[in-house]
Protein backbone atom coordinates (compact mmCIF):
# COMPACT_ATOMS: atom_id res chain seq x y z
CA UNK A 1 0.00 0.00 0.00
CA UNK A 2 1.11 3.56 -0.68
CA UNK A 3 1.59 5.30 2.69
CA UNK A 4 1.95 8.86 1.39
CA UNK A 5 -1.11 10.64 -0.03
CA UNK A 6 -2.01 9.64 -3.57
CA UNK A 7 -0.95 12.12 -6.23
CA UNK A 8 -4.61 12.42 -7.27
CA UNK A 9 -5.52 13.45 -3.70
CA UNK A 10 -2.66 15.96 -3.57
CA UNK A 11 -3.89 17.55 -6.78
CA UNK A 12 -7.38 17.98 -5.36
CA UNK A 13 -6.01 19.26 -2.06
CA UNK A 14 -3.89 21.94 -3.77
CA UNK A 15 -6.50 22.86 -6.39
CA UNK A 16 -7.30 26.30 -4.96
CA UNK A 17 -3.59 27.27 -5.07
CA UNK A 18 -3.05 26.31 -8.71
CA UNK A 19 -2.71 28.69 -11.64
CA UNK A 20 -4.86 28.33 -14.76
CA UNK A 21 -2.03 26.51 -16.56
CA UNK A 22 -1.49 24.19 -13.63
CA UNK A 23 -5.22 23.39 -13.58
CA UNK A 24 -5.05 22.47 -17.27
CA UNK A 25 -2.19 20.11 -16.47
CA UNK A 26 -4.09 18.66 -13.51
CA UNK A 27 -7.11 17.96 -15.72
CA UNK A 28 -4.96 16.01 -18.18
CA UNK A 29 -3.52 13.90 -15.37
CA UNK A 30 -6.83 13.17 -13.63
CA UNK A 31 -8.85 12.59 -16.80
CA UNK A 32 -6.27 10.04 -17.96
CA UNK A 33 -6.20 8.16 -14.62
CA UNK A 34 -2.71 9.62 -14.03
CA UNK A 35 -1.23 7.57 -16.89
CA UNK A 36 -0.32 10.75 -18.80
CA UNK A 37 2.20 11.45 -16.05
CA UNK A 38 4.33 8.53 -17.24
CA UNK A 39 5.24 10.39 -20.42
CA UNK A 40 8.35 12.53 -20.76
CA UNK A 41 8.04 16.03 -19.32
CA UNK A 42 7.98 17.48 -22.83
CA UNK A 43 5.20 15.19 -24.05
CA UNK A 44 3.17 15.78 -20.91
CA UNK A 45 3.51 19.55 -21.30
CA UNK A 46 2.52 19.33 -24.97
CA UNK A 47 -0.54 17.20 -24.22
CA UNK A 48 -1.71 19.76 -21.67
CA UNK A 49 -0.67 22.71 -23.86
CA UNK A 50 1.46 24.18 -21.10
CA UNK A 51 5.18 24.85 -20.70
CA UNK A 52 7.65 22.42 -19.11
CA UNK A 53 8.35 24.91 -16.27
CA UNK A 54 4.63 24.66 -15.45
CA UNK A 55 5.04 20.90 -14.99
CA UNK A 56 8.01 21.45 -12.68
CA UNK A 57 6.16 24.12 -10.67
CA UNK A 58 3.18 21.82 -10.19
CA UNK A 59 5.45 19.01 -8.99
CA UNK A 60 7.00 21.32 -6.40
CA UNK A 61 3.61 22.62 -5.23
CA UNK A 62 2.67 19.02 -4.54
CA UNK A 63 5.76 18.60 -2.36
CA UNK A 64 8.09 16.85 -4.79
CA UNK A 65 11.65 17.95 -5.60
CA UNK A 66 10.91 17.90 -9.32
CA UNK A 67 9.14 16.12 -12.16
CA UNK A 68 11.19 12.93 -11.72
CA UNK A 69 9.98 12.47 -8.14
CA UNK A 70 6.40 13.26 -9.17
CA UNK A 71 6.60 10.68 -11.96
CA UNK A 72 7.97 8.04 -9.55
CA UNK A 73 5.04 8.71 -7.21
CA UNK A 74 2.54 8.40 -10.08
CA UNK A 75 4.15 5.12 -11.12
CA UNK A 76 3.88 3.78 -7.56
CA UNK A 77 0.23 4.85 -7.34
CA UNK A 78 -0.66 3.08 -10.57
CA UNK A 79 1.23 -0.07 -9.57
CA UNK A 80 -0.52 -0.14 -6.20
CA UNK A 81 -3.90 0.38 -7.85
CA UNK A 82 -3.32 -2.58 -10.13
CA UNK A 83 -1.92 -4.92 -7.47
CA UNK A 84 -4.12 -4.25 -4.45
CA UNK A 85 -7.04 -6.47 -5.56
CA UNK A 86 -4.63 -9.30 -6.32
CA UNK A 87 -3.17 -9.20 -2.82
CA UNK A 88 -6.60 -10.18 -1.50
CA UNK A 89 -6.61 -13.54 -3.29
CA UNK A 90 -6.70 -16.39 -0.79
CA UNK A 91 -6.89 -20.18 -1.05
CA UNK A 92 -10.36 -21.47 -1.94
CA UNK A 93 -11.20 -22.13 1.71
CA UNK A 94 -9.53 -21.16 5.01
CA UNK A 95 -9.58 -24.86 5.82
CA UNK A 96 -8.12 -25.97 2.50
CA UNK A 97 -4.81 -27.80 2.96
CA UNK A 98 -1.91 -25.68 1.77
CA UNK A 99 -0.58 -28.63 -0.23
CA UNK A 100 -3.88 -29.17 -2.09
CA UNK A 101 -3.55 -28.57 -5.85
CA UNK A 102 -6.16 -25.80 -5.74
CA UNK A 103 -4.25 -23.92 -3.05
CA UNK A 104 -0.92 -24.43 -4.77
CA UNK A 105 -2.28 -23.44 -8.17
CA UNK A 106 -3.96 -20.28 -6.84
CA UNK A 107 -0.75 -19.29 -5.07
CA UNK A 108 1.32 -19.80 -8.23
CA UNK A 109 -1.18 -18.05 -10.50
CA UNK A 110 -1.41 -15.09 -8.11
CA UNK A 111 2.38 -14.86 -7.93
CA UNK A 112 2.54 -14.97 -11.75
CA UNK A 113 0.10 -12.10 -12.09
CA UNK A 114 1.92 -10.02 -9.50
CA UNK A 115 5.32 -10.64 -11.10
CA UNK A 116 3.90 -9.76 -14.52
CA UNK A 117 2.38 -6.50 -13.28
CA UNK A 118 5.54 -5.54 -11.40
CA UNK A 119 7.46 -5.74 -14.67
CA UNK A 120 4.79 -4.14 -16.83
CA UNK A 121 5.88 -0.96 -18.59
CA UNK A 122 2.75 1.18 -18.86
CA UNK A 123 4.31 3.19 -21.68
CA UNK A 124 4.64 -0.06 -23.64
CA UNK A 125 1.06 -0.94 -22.75
CA UNK A 126 -0.12 2.40 -24.13
CA UNK A 127 1.93 1.91 -27.28
CA UNK A 128 0.27 -1.47 -27.86
CA UNK A 129 -3.16 0.06 -27.25
CA UNK A 130 -2.39 2.76 -29.81
CA UNK A 131 -1.41 0.15 -32.41
CA UNK A 132 -4.49 -1.98 -31.78
CA UNK A 133 -6.87 1.01 -31.83
CA UNK A 134 -5.46 2.49 -35.05
CA UNK A 135 -8.26 1.65 -37.46
CA UNK A 136 -6.07 2.65 -40.39
CA UNK A 137 -4.16 -0.56 -39.71
CA UNK A 138 -5.21 -4.11 -40.47
CA UNK A 139 -4.74 -6.36 -37.45
CA UNK A 140 -3.62 -9.96 -37.85
CA UNK A 141 -3.55 -12.25 -34.80
CA UNK A 142 -1.62 -15.51 -34.42
CA UNK A 143 -1.22 -17.92 -31.52
CA UNK A 144 0.98 -20.93 -30.94
CA UNK A 145 0.19 -24.48 -29.90
CA UNK A 146 -0.72 -23.51 -26.32
CA UNK A 147 -1.57 -19.85 -26.85
CA UNK A 148 -4.00 -20.29 -29.72
CA UNK A 149 -6.88 -19.84 -27.27
CA UNK A 150 -5.45 -16.47 -26.19
CA UNK A 151 -5.28 -15.39 -29.83
CA UNK A 152 -8.89 -16.47 -30.39
CA UNK A 153 -10.02 -14.56 -27.31
CA UNK A 154 -8.33 -11.33 -28.45
CA UNK A 155 -9.67 -11.78 -31.99
CA UNK A 156 -13.26 -12.40 -30.85
CA UNK A 157 -13.32 -9.13 -28.93
CA UNK A 158 -11.37 -6.88 -31.28
CA UNK A 159 -13.45 -7.85 -34.31
CA UNK A 160 -16.50 -6.54 -32.46
CA UNK A 161 -14.78 -3.32 -31.40
CA UNK A 162 -13.15 -2.37 -34.71
CA UNK A 163 -13.01 -3.37 -38.39
CA UNK A 164 -10.30 -5.26 -40.31
CA UNK A 165 -9.24 -7.78 -37.69
CA UNK A 166 -8.10 -11.18 -38.97
CA UNK A 167 -7.27 -14.44 -37.19
CA UNK A 168 -4.47 -16.17 -39.04
CA UNK A 169 -4.76 -19.85 -39.90
CA UNK A 170 -2.66 -22.15 -37.74
CA UNK A 171 -1.20 -23.86 -40.81
CA UNK A 172 2.07 -22.28 -42.05
CA UNK A 173 1.22 -23.40 -45.59
CA UNK A 174 -1.39 -20.61 -45.90
CA UNK A 175 0.63 -17.83 -44.26
CA UNK A 176 2.13 -16.58 -47.54
CA UNK A 177 -1.34 -15.54 -48.72
CA UNK A 178 -1.80 -13.45 -45.60
CA UNK A 179 1.67 -11.94 -45.94
CA UNK A 180 0.83 -10.78 -49.46
CA UNK A 181 -1.47 -8.08 -48.09
CA UNK A 182 0.65 -7.05 -45.10
CA UNK A 183 2.77 -3.92 -45.00
CA UNK A 184 3.37 -0.71 -43.04
CA UNK A 185 -0.42 -0.41 -42.75
CA UNK A 186 -0.58 -3.70 -40.80
CA UNK A 187 0.06 -4.97 -37.30
CA UNK A 188 0.64 -8.58 -36.28
CA UNK A 189 -0.11 -9.79 -32.75
CA UNK A 190 1.79 -12.98 -31.88
CA UNK A 191 1.55 -15.20 -28.80
CA UNK A 192 4.67 -17.34 -28.32
CA UNK A 193 5.73 -18.98 -25.07
CA UNK A 194 8.11 -21.86 -24.44
CA UNK A 195 8.60 -24.15 -26.33
CA UNK A 196 9.05 -21.39 -28.87
CA UNK A 197 7.83 -22.21 -32.35
CA UNK A 198 10.30 -21.80 -35.20
CA UNK A 199 7.53 -21.22 -37.73
CA UNK A 200 6.22 -18.25 -35.76
CA UNK A 201 9.71 -16.77 -35.70
CA UNK A 202 9.92 -17.13 -39.49
CA UNK A 203 6.51 -15.50 -39.87
CA UNK A 204 7.60 -12.56 -37.70
CA UNK A 205 10.79 -12.13 -39.73
CA UNK A 206 8.92 -12.02 -43.04
CA UNK A 207 6.32 -9.62 -41.61
CA UNK A 208 8.94 -7.17 -40.30
CA UNK A 209 10.68 -7.16 -43.69
CA UNK A 210 7.39 -5.87 -45.11
CA UNK A 211 7.12 -3.08 -42.54
CA UNK A 212 4.60 -4.75 -40.24
CA UNK A 213 4.49 -3.72 -36.57
CA UNK A 214 4.55 -6.69 -34.19
CA UNK A 215 2.97 -6.88 -30.73
CA UNK A 216 4.37 -9.91 -28.91
CA UNK A 217 3.05 -11.76 -25.86
CA UNK A 218 5.67 -14.10 -24.44
CA UNK A 219 7.04 -15.49 -21.17
CA UNK A 220 9.64 -14.10 -18.75
CA UNK A 221 12.48 -15.67 -20.70
CA UNK A 222 11.47 -14.09 -23.99
CA UNK A 223 10.60 -15.58 -27.36
CA UNK A 224 13.21 -15.34 -30.14
CA UNK A 225 10.64 -13.12 -31.85
CA UNK A 226 11.29 -10.34 -29.32
CA UNK A 227 13.98 -8.54 -31.41
CA UNK A 228 11.37 -8.16 -34.17
CA UNK A 229 8.66 -6.75 -31.88
CA UNK A 230 7.58 -3.12 -31.65
CA UNK A 231 6.01 -3.95 -28.28
CA UNK A 232 6.71 -6.98 -26.10
CA UNK A 233 4.83 -8.20 -23.04
CA UNK A 234 6.62 -10.71 -20.81
CA UNK A 235 4.39 -12.70 -18.49
CA UNK A 236 5.13 -15.24 -15.75
CA UNK A 237 3.70 -18.64 -16.67
CA UNK A 238 4.96 -21.32 -14.25
CA UNK A 239 2.43 -23.28 -12.19
CA UNK A 240 2.42 -26.72 -10.51
CA UNK A 241 1.38 -28.46 -13.71
CA UNK A 242 2.86 -30.09 -16.78
CA UNK A 243 1.41 -27.14 -18.68
CA UNK A 244 2.30 -23.47 -18.48
CA UNK A 245 -0.41 -21.03 -17.38
CA UNK A 246 -1.52 -18.13 -19.59
CA UNK A 247 -3.67 -16.43 -16.93
CA UNK A 248 -1.26 -13.51 -16.61
CA UNK A 249 -1.14 -13.14 -20.38
CA UNK A 250 -4.91 -13.07 -20.58
CA UNK A 251 -5.08 -10.42 -17.87
CA UNK A 252 -2.99 -8.17 -20.11
CA UNK A 253 -5.15 -9.11 -23.10
CA UNK A 254 -8.36 -8.18 -21.29
CA UNK A 255 -6.86 -4.89 -20.09
CA UNK A 256 -5.85 -4.07 -23.67
CA UNK A 257 -9.32 -4.93 -24.95
CA UNK A 258 -10.81 -2.53 -22.40
CA UNK A 259 -8.38 0.24 -23.36
CA UNK A 260 -8.94 -0.21 -27.11
CA UNK A 261 -12.70 -0.07 -26.61
CA UNK A 262 -12.27 3.09 -24.53
CA UNK A 263 -10.21 4.73 -27.27
CA UNK A 264 -12.73 3.73 -29.93
CA UNK A 265 -15.79 4.32 -27.77
CA UNK A 266 -17.90 6.11 -30.38
CA UNK A 267 -17.22 3.83 -33.33
CA UNK A 268 -17.24 0.65 -31.22
CA UNK A 269 -20.60 1.63 -29.74
CA UNK A 270 -22.05 1.82 -33.26
CA UNK A 271 -20.58 -1.57 -34.16
CA UNK A 272 -21.84 -3.21 -30.96
CA UNK A 273 -25.30 -1.70 -31.48
CA UNK A 274 -25.41 -3.06 -35.04
CA UNK A 275 -24.23 -6.45 -33.81
CA UNK A 276 -26.89 -6.58 -31.09
CA UNK A 277 -29.56 -5.68 -33.63
CA UNK A 278 -28.45 -8.52 -35.92
CA UNK A 279 -28.36 -10.98 -33.02
CA UNK A 280 -31.83 -9.89 -31.93
CA UNK A 281 -33.27 -10.28 -35.43
CA UNK A 282 -31.63 -13.67 -35.92
CA UNK A 283 -32.90 -14.97 -32.55
CA UNK A 284 -29.67 -16.94 -32.11
CA UNK A 285 -29.81 -16.75 -28.33
CA UNK A 286 -32.58 -17.53 -25.87
CA UNK A 287 -34.39 -14.64 -24.22
CA UNK A 288 -33.83 -12.16 -27.07
The model's pLDDT over 98-115, given as tens digits with 9 standing for 90+, comes to: 678 888 888 888 989 988
Q: What's the DSSP call for residue 153?
A: H
Give pLDDT tens digits for 18-47.
Answer: 999 999 999 888 876 688 888 889 989 998
Tell me which residue of 202, 201, 191, 214 sits closest to 145, measured CA to CA. 191
139: pLDDT strictly greater than 90 = yes
Spatial contact of 146 and 193, defined as CB atoms under 8 Å apart: yes
Tell me which residue of 36, 17, 16 sits closest to 25, measured CA to CA. 36
Residues 6+ apart with CB under 8 A from 62: 7, 10, 11, 14, 70
The pLDDT value given to residue 86: 44
Give pLDDT tens digits for 228-285.
Answer: 999 999 999 988 888 889 999 999 999 999 999 999 987 766 777 777 777 676 766 6
Task: Give all domains of the chain, ordered by start, each with its CATH number.
Answer: 7-86 (1.10.10.10), 120-274 (3.40.50.10490)
The pLDDT value given to residue 85: 40
Spatial contact of 249 and 233, defined as CB atoms under 8 Å apart: yes
Amino acid sequence: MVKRPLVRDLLKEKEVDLTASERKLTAVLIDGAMVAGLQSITRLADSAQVSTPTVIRLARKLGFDGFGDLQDAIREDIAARIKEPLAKLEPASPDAPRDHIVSRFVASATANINRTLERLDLTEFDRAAQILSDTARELHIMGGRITRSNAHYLFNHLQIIRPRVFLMDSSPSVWPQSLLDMGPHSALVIFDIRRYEKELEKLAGFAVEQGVSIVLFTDVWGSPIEPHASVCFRAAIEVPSSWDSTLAINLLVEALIAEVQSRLSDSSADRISALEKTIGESKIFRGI
